[in-house]
Every structure is written in C-alpha cells, then in structure tokens.
Amino acid sequence: MAKQKCSKSDGVTFRSAIPAKAAAIDFHGETGARLTLEVADCDLGDFMPVVLMRQKRLIVTIKEDLS
C-alpha cells in the first residue's frame, strides 16, 4: 500500500461507534477530554489514513449514521 499524503483540505470519513463502556468518553479535569471510537473490520480501509494524522490537531464533526 502506497503512503498517502493528506493536505489541509483533505478529510477522512469512516463509520465508527462510541462504545457503551464508561471510559469511552473520559474527561481530564481542566485539561480536556478523550474519546474512544470503535471501527469495524469492514471499515478499516476508510479509517487507515487517520494513522498518518497522529499528533496533528484535527477538526472533528460527529454525525449519527442513519442508514
């Protein structure tokens, strides 16, 4: 698989779910929060470009999948 570069205008869209476990949304007092997402095996291909975005500041939009 060739490395994929993401420009500032590129985005990544994939299906995922916030797990039901209590630690899925974790607040760190005054320092922020952490969100855990589960990605199904069939959606990993769409998710993989996220690996190249580690340690980068992101703009996140979350929408419910009504399909």
Q: 29-56, pLDDT tens digit by residue? A: 888 999 999 999 999 999 999 999 999 9
pLDDT average, residue stretch 20-30:
91
DSSP state letters, 26-67: EE-TTS-EEE--B--GGGHHHHGGGGGGTTS-----------
Yes or no: say if 6 and 50 are a contact pair by the CB < 8 Å rule.
no
DSSP annotation of 21: S
pTM for the whole thing? Answer: 0.74
Residue 31 pLDDT: 87
Confidence of residue 4 (pLDDT cuts 50, 70, 90): low
Task: Check pLDDT > 80 for residue 58.
Answer: yes
- As given in the structure block, the two tokens for residue 57 are 């500041």
